[in-house]
Structure formats: structure tokens, C-alpha cells
Chains A and B, each alone.
Chain A
Amino acid sequence: MHVMLAITIFVCMFIPLSILSEFLFIEPFVIFHVIEDRIVSFALIAFISLMSAIVIPMNIYRIRTLQKSMTKISGSVLGSIIGASAGICSCGPIGFSIISTFGTVAGTATAFLTNYEMPLRLASLGLLCLVYYTTAKSISIECKTR
């Protein structure tokens, strides 16, 4: 069940993020297009999706099996959300809707997410790695104890 959940999380994060960051296009037909100077951004999306797919099921296992608190899972969800929202193209339909509805303030907010794409995604990846480390350590200690 946890493996299935991990695959589902990876797919559900990687595909929409690739579409929103304009790496994957579905119209007029499905095509992946990663230009040279955006390879790092694409790699970060892949890593964040992968780490979320590892860390979230691990925490669900920890909560269900070891009856632990939900602190760590909130850290991993937060990391995933930061990573997902960073760098979403402000030129895209989401940016257009937000800016058209909320005006200049929204423009500044979306510009912030676009401009600080790399640091935000790296921070998110760092947070996910930290949660992975502490969760793995906690699971191994708890299992040994039991």
C-alpha cells in the first residue's frame, strides 16, 4: 500500500508541476520540452516529487504503525507545497488569473515565486531531506525498541 501511495504521490506531483512550469505540454499533443538553461529547474522538480513520494508514505507508516505524532508529516507536506508553488510560471494561466483578479499585489507575489524559484525549491528539498533523515532515524530506533 505504501509503495502504491509513493508512486501516486510522485505522479500527482511530477506531472502537474511539469505542466505548470511549462516542461510538459498537452496541447496540441503531448510533448516534453526542456530547454538547456532550465535543466536545473526540471531536475529540482523531479527531486522534490521523488522526495515527497518517499517522505510522505514513510510518515504515514510511522503514524499508523508506531502511533507517533503528526509533526513530521506536516513538515514534509509543507516542504512539498513550497517546492510545488515555487517557480510556477507567472506568464501561465494561473499567473494570469491571479494577476487579473488581484492586480499589482498578486503580480508582486507571483514575481517573487518566479524570481526565487531556485532558492525556494532548494529550501524545500532541504526540508524534505531533513524530514527524511529524522523519520528514518525515528523509525529505526522505534522498531529496535519494539
Chain B
Amino acid sequence: MNKKVIVSITFVVLVIVVAVSFSSYQANLLEMHDKTKYLEKIAAKTASPLINLESGSPPLGSDAAPITIVEFGDYQCEACYHWFHTTRTTLIDNYIETGKAKLVFVDLPFLGRHSPIAAEASYCAEDQGKYWEYHTMLYTFQDGPPDSGWANLDRLNSFAFSLDMNMDEFNECMDSSKYKKRVKANYDESVKNNARSTPTFMIISQDGMTEKFSGSQPYSVFAASIESML
């Protein structure tokens, strides 16, 4: 084929791609500026979440909080680490500690073989009433790529030891793989709810309206979503 024709076809394809992306971008911008439209969009989202949170973490915050924030995450995920150390703190200060929202963590361990083990360890910590302390420990000491060893069994034991946990109980829990099925149930629940990356979030209101988005997004996105549901 003539080089001229190839270049022309490539150019036309590129122009179409850019035009489609740009029009979608413009549409989103316009929608964002129009608060009413945005709220209508939220309200239009189907009610009654089908998500089953029974296997997830104990809720962080008041059980009576009208908003539930569900985080689908992996302890070896770098983006989850960034979200934990940026957005989460402000979210806790402004919505969880004020009783407006509660946070539930649902495991989506797919990044490596240490991911499900770390998730199991978090539930072994829950047995001793230290789920969220252990969760914080994992995201504080995430160091290096998936399966590089920072979340191997020895490190998981040392995290438990640092939290003054009963090590016999913890080791027995880990050795018996007591929570393997629970972690698998969480994985299945995440996939069922179309979580295809970590972190993915679902904001669920009391009357069942839900909004789902993914990535380590800034606080303003969460605030806009929560405020529109309160």
C-alpha cells in the first residue's frame, strides 16, 4: 500500500480517537459544573446494593453511620498505599469520626501469593480485637513490589508481635488457614461487584444508592460523593 495512504489512514484514526476522547471529556466537564445534573446522576443510580459485607472487615466508625464506604483493596497494592497515606486520613477526620460514614475493607488479593496471606493475617488479628491496627501496620510497612518479602509469614508474625498480640493464638490461626475461605469469599464478592482494580470504592447511602469509582482518588471526590448522599 502507498505510504501516503497509510499515513492518511493513521491520521484519520488518530483524529477520530482524539475527537471522541475530547467530546467525552467536555461532556464530563459540563456535567461536573452543573451540580444539579450531577446530583440527578447520583440519584438515578440503582438502589439496594447487592454487596454482601459479611466477610469483609469489621466497620471502622459508627455502625449507625448513614454512609458506608467500601474499599476493595490488596495489601501489596501501591495505589492502595498512596490512598491510605493521603486521602484516608482526611476522610476519617471529617466523615468517620463525625459519625457520618463508616469504612469497610473488602479484600481483593490478586497481586501475588503474599496478598491472600496478609489478608488472612488481618483476620487473625481481628480475633484479638486488632484488625484495624494490623491493617494500618500492613499499609505503613508496605515496602517494595508484590512478593518481595515484606509481607511473608515471618514479617506478618513480626507485625503481630509489634502489636503485642498473643503469638501462640496468632500462629495457630495462620497455620490452620482459618480465614482462607473468608478471604476467598471477599475476592469473589469483589469480582461479583465488578471491582477490577485496587483500590476500588463503593459509597453506599442508607437508602441504597451507590456510587462506584476506582483509583487512589483525592479527598474532594469522596467528599462530593458523600455530601450528595447525606
CB–CB B196/A25 < 8 A: no
CB–CB A89/B78 < 8 A: yes
Give the residues in chain B near A4, CB-CB below 8 Å.
11, 15
A114 within 8 A of B: yes
CB–CB A115/B213 < 8 A: no
Binds A, one of B46-54, B105-113, B120-128: B105-113
CB–CB B198/A31 < 8 A: no
CB–CB A31/B197 < 8 A: no
A12 to chain B, nearest CB (A): 6
Give the residues in chain A near B18, CB-CB below 8 Å.
8, 11-12
**Contact A91 B79, CB 8 Å, known A12-B14, A12-B18, A29-B31:** yes
A5 within 8 A of B: yes
Give the residues in chain A near B29, CB-CB below 8 Å.
30
B87 to chain A, nearest CB (A): 9
Per DSSP, chain A at the interface is helix
The listed residue (A8, A12, A33, A93) touching B197 by CB distance below 8 A is A93
A62 to chain B, nearest CB (A): 12
A64 to chain B, nearest CB (A): 7
Give Cα A31–Cα B224 distance, bound, in whole angstroms.
12
B162 within 8 A of A: no
Give Cα A91–Cα B7 distance, bound, in whole angstroms.
35
B119 to chain A, nearest CB (A): 15
Give Cα A8–Cα B20 distance, bound, in whole angstroms.
12
Give the residues in chain B near A42, CB-CB below 8 Å.
none
The 6 A-B residue pairs whose C-beta atoms are closest, nearest first, are: A91-B77, A29-B32, A8-B14, A91-B79, A30-B28, A93-B197
Q: Which residues of B contact A (CB under 8 A)?
A: 3-4, 7, 11, 14-15, 17-18, 21-22, 24-25, 28-29, 31-32, 38, 74, 77-80, 82, 86, 110-113, 145-147, 196-199, 211, 213-218, 220-221, 224-225
Give Cα A91–Cα B108 distance, bound, in whole angstroms.
10
Binds B, one of A43-51, A94-102, A124-132, A134-142: A94-102
CB–CB A35/B32 < 8 A: no
Give Cα A9–Cα B217 distance, bound, in whole angstroms.
27
Give the residues in chain B near A15, CB-CB below 8 Å.
21
For A9, A26, A100, A107, the residue with the greatest tally of chain B CB atoms inside 10 Å of its CB is A107
CB–CB B38/A91 < 8 A: no
Of chain A, the residue at the smallest CB distance from B228 is A28
The listed residue (B22, B112, B221) touching A29 by CB distance below 8 A is B221
Give Cα A105–Cα B78 distance, bound, in whole angstroms.
19
Within 8 A of B (CB), among A34-90: 35, 38, 60, 63-64, 89-90
B140 to chain A, nearest CB (A): 15
CB–CB A99/B79 < 8 A: no
Give the residues in chain B near A8, CB-CB below 8 Å.
11, 14-15, 18
Give the residues in chain A near B24, CB-CB below 8 Å.
26
Give the residues in chain A near B224, CB-CB below 8 Å.
28-29
CB–CB B147/A111 < 8 A: yes
Give Cα A93–Cα B31 distance, bound, in whole angstroms.
25
CB–CB B196/A11 < 8 A: no
Of chain A, the residue at the smallest CB distance from B8 is A1
CB–CB B14/A100 < 8 A: no
CB–CB B147/A33 < 8 A: no
B83 to chain A, nearest CB (A): 10
